[in-house]
Amino acid sequence: MRSGGMARDNQTTMNSTNNNPIAECAKALTGIAGFDLITRGGLPRGKATLVTGGPGSGKTVFGLQTLANGVILNDEPGIFVAFEENSRQIVDNAASFGWNLPDLKELFFLDAMPASDTISIGEFDFSGMLTLLSAKVHAMDARRIVFDSLDVLLHLLPGPVERRREMNRLHSWLVTNGLTAVITAKLDWQRADAMPLEEGGLQYMPFIVDCVIVLVHDFENTYSQRRLRIMKYRGSGFAENEAPFIIGPSAFEVASAGDPVPAEHVSTERLSCGVEALDEMLGGGFIRASTTIITGVPGTAKSTLAGVFSVTACKRGERALYLAFDESGGELARNLCSVGLDLQSHVNSGLLHIHSGVAGAGSAEEQLLALKALVHRHRPTWMIIDPFSSFIRSGSEVTTQAVAHRMIRWVKSKGITLICTSLTTEGGVSGTLLRISTVADTWIHLNFFNGGERNRGLTIYKSRGTKHSNQVRELILSDAGVSLATQYTGSGEMLMGTMRWEKEREKSEELLRLEAEFESKRVAVTRELAHLDAQIETLQHTVEAKRLILRSMSDVEAGRREEETLRESGMIRVREAKQSGFVDGIPAKGGLEEPAVEGHHR
Amino acid sequence: MTGVSFILYISSQTPNSIQAEANLRSMCLTNFPDHHIEIMDVVEHPERALADGIIVTPTLVKVAPGPKQVIMGNLSNIPRVLRAVRWDGTR
């Protein structure tokens, strides 16, 4: 059943937290970041909650914050009954969280710290205190009350019987008045040897209240870790695991996984990263509210790339938050100036906020909450964490990994496009980073390629929802900015820098040489052809000459034959004249000498 | 021993308050001829009790002479109360 009070709460910021169809008990929002989420709406309304923890675990702050937020957020007047500190001390402490409590007229402090010289003789009870508190509750229409801390009160009592009686008295008074109460008690559940429950007579308390919260403060790898656990919560579901929390600049903050990204917030909008070739490789740029991890060994220009993205986002008019752990804002701006990136003007215009974080300054939890505070202040749509490895360094691997996951989910739910750089060793990627990379949408890896010099290579390992290039490109930094060189993939290997340049030059030289060779061959052949043509002509002349000779020879022969014929006929006439016996044809020429010749030959 | 002044904070008609008032009056009658007792009922005067930082009832406050002394309880042990409220160091 929901009371009217719950409806009043629902008008505030956390109206989407309680979507459980089963009716839960009425709740009162604490306004403590994260706590209202894990309890699905805050503390049980009109009932008592016991907040236990060791010294310095944050009990008082929890109570104070619940009360102050009751006034500020829910318009519920409250009373703080201080048994341990006087109200002036509490107001001073609260001021360190930025709360100006004296301004809250609906907040009343009762100094109930027993005087140091107080002695007790005979029986007494708390009915007087409760009576006068009743008067105050009615006078100011108080809805919330904090008793800090109950053990001080109980220690005034002589024995367990009286303590139990007074606890019952207190509880029934709270129920009668319908107050949402926070009762703090010093209890260290962690320490098995400590028996404060028995000693303080508190063992009964967890049974009579409706909600029990346990605060733990310990250390993990020298880093302070605070955790909160809900031990019981009548009439309500709650997150049963321990939730990390911090007491930061804005007081008590509980880490919670947060809501999943609502479907309507899942964007398909592509945002240019500022490097044209990289946009192409990513299939059009980064998707809005996606998370990108840029890994690389030192010096591979991770920060520079991140700087390009920030400047590009700012040029579009987006607000960007740059968390720099390695460099101060000024150094970063100066260093990026060398590649033509003007961060300073965007810082001046207020679009870009560079926050210099100190690595390991607090636990991973604290870093996360500090980050949330920064985001609330600057309201960016782009965020760079450089390097992420410093951000998550604090604490154990399990913790930092959990924090990193929550951070990414939270950032995503805020619609922020996140870029994380991360240092890797030459050997590869650390276990933590590897697991975190599964949460990231895009993973860009930068590496050096050796070839007498170190050239930066860019690879996209993965990119969800994107047809991304599988090629390695060379990242080139120059005065003019950052660009990606089209990679040279001749003969199946990728070449960069001088090697690529040399290869390209080699190629062109080869071409020139071939061209020259061809030209010279062409000339030679032409010459040969000309030569042959000339030869043909000469030969033709020779042929002509020979023909002429031949013709003239034939003429001479013909003349001679004619002459011979003529002579032969002349001889016949002579023989006919000398002897008539020579009728046989005897060769004309030498007919007369022939017998002598014949005779000589024989 | 003269001029003793007490304020007794009580919570109306609760048993311990009734008993405390009876014990106080009895003690004063026999020990302090010149005494002044103010009975402050926190139910009737909550603001006054709040201002005085009273958290339990009954509470006896010796306001004079000497330093202020606060005693919680129904004052069932009168000799102890006497020792507590003496300012001459004899307790």
Q: Helix/strand/coil (H, E, C) string of A54-84?
A: CCCCCHHHHHHHHHHHHHHCCCCCEEEEECC
**Sole residue written with tokens 């600057």:** A378
Q: What is the pLDDT of residue B12?
A: 82
Classified as helix, coil or strand, A319 is coil
Q: Which residues of B touch A128 (CB under 8 A)?
A: 9-11, 14, 17, 42, 49, 54-59
Measured CA to CA, the distance from residue A513 to residue B79 in angstroms comes to 123
Q: What is the pLDDT of residue A282?
A: 82
ipTM surpasses cut 0.90: no
Q: HEC states along A343-359?
A: CHHHHHHCCEEEEECCC
Find the closest chain A residue to B8 by CA distance. A128
Q: What is the pLDDT of residue A590?
A: 45
Distance from CA of B77 to the nearest CA of A (A): 6
Find the closest chain B residue to A129 by CA distance. B55
Measured CA to CA, the distance from residue A222 to residue A396 in angstroms comes to 10
Q: Is B83 on the interface with A (CB under 8 A)?
A: no
Q: What is the pLDDT of residue A324?
A: 86
Per-residue confidence band for A497, with pLDDT thresholds at 50, 70 and 90: low
Q: What is the pLDDT of residue B91?
A: 40
Whether B4 contacts B62, CB under 8 Å: yes
Torsions phi, psi for A95 (to 5 deg):
-60, -30
> Which of A117, A131, A157, A169 would you mutate first to test chain B, the one with the most B CBs within 10 A?
A131
**Contact between chains at A132 and B56 (C-beta distance less than 8 A):** no
Kindly list the distances between the CA atom of residue A124 and the CA atoms of A104, A154, A166, B16, in Å, as whole numbers in the listed order. 34, 12, 10, 6
**DSSP character for A309?**
H
Q: What is the pLDDT of residue B7?
A: 92
Mean pLDDT, rounded, of chain A? 78
Candidates A261, A279, A281; CA nearest to A270 is A279
Q: What is the pLDDT of residue A536?
A: 92
Per-residue confidence band for A258, with pLDDT thresholds at 50, 70 and 90: low
**Contact between chains at A110 and B50 (C-beta distance less than 8 A):** yes
Kindly list the distances between the CA atom of residue B74 and the CA atoms of A114, A127, A482, A502, in Å, as whole numbers in the listed order. 17, 13, 84, 102
Q: Is the pLDDT of residue A283 over 60?
A: yes
Q: Which residues of A touch B55 (CB under 8 A)?
A: 83, 112, 114, 126, 128-129, 153
Candidates A564, A217, A287; CA nearest to A442 is A287
Q: What is the pLDDT of residue A206?
A: 80
Per-residue confidence band for A262, with pLDDT thresholds at 50, 70 and 90: low
**Rounded mean pLDDT of A63-83?**
89
Kindly list the strands in the beta sheet with B59-64, ordered across the sheet, starting from the edge strand earlier in the chain. A119-120, B69-72, B59-64, B4-10, B35-41
Percent of all residues in chain A with a pLDDT value above 70, rounded to a whole number: 78
Torsions phi, psi for A180 (to 5 deg):
-85, 110
> Which of A88, A117, A127 would you mutate first to test chain B, the one with the most B CBs within 10 A?
A127
**Contact between chains at B46 and A131 (C-beta distance less than 8 A):** yes
Indicate the pairing of strand A352-356 with strand A320-324.
Answer: parallel
Measured CA to CA, the distance from residue A199 to residue B15 in angstroms comes to 27
Find the closest chain A residue to B72 by CA distance. A120
**Contact between chains at A112 and B75 (C-beta distance less than 8 A):** no
Q: Which residues of A touch B59 (CB under 8 A)?
A: 124, 128
For residue B1, give the amino acid letter: M
Measured CA to CA, the distance from residue A98 to residue A65 in angstroms comes to 11
Measured CA to CA, the distance from residue A24 to residue A183 in angstroms comes to 22
Q: Cis link prior to B67 (omega < 30° from 0)?
A: no
Distance from CA of B4 to the nearest CA of A (A): 18
Q: Which residues of A touch B43 (CB under 8 A)?
A: 131-132, 135
Q: What is the pLDDT of residue A435?
A: 64
Q: Which residues of A touch B10 (CB under 8 A)?
A: 128
Chain A positions touching chain B (beta carbons under 8 Å): 83, 110-115, 117-129, 131-132, 134-136, 153, 156
Task: Output the CA torsion sign for A26, A30, A31, A32.
Answer: negative
Per-residue confidence band for A15, with pLDDT thresholds at 50, 70 and 90: very low
Q: Is B84 on the interface with A (CB under 8 A)?
A: yes
Q: Is B86 on the interface with A (CB under 8 A)?
A: no
**Contact between chains at A120 and B11 (C-beta distance less than 8 A):** no
Q: Is B57 on the interface with A (CB under 8 A)?
A: yes
Q: Is B85 on the interface with A (CB under 8 A)?
A: no
Q: Which of A112, A126, A156 lies nearest to residue B53, judging by beta carbons?
A: A112
Q: Which residues of B touch A124 (CB under 8 A)?
A: 16, 56-59, 72-74
Q: What is the pLDDT of residue A256?
A: 67
Per-residue confidence band for A183, with pLDDT thresholds at 50, 70 and 90: very high
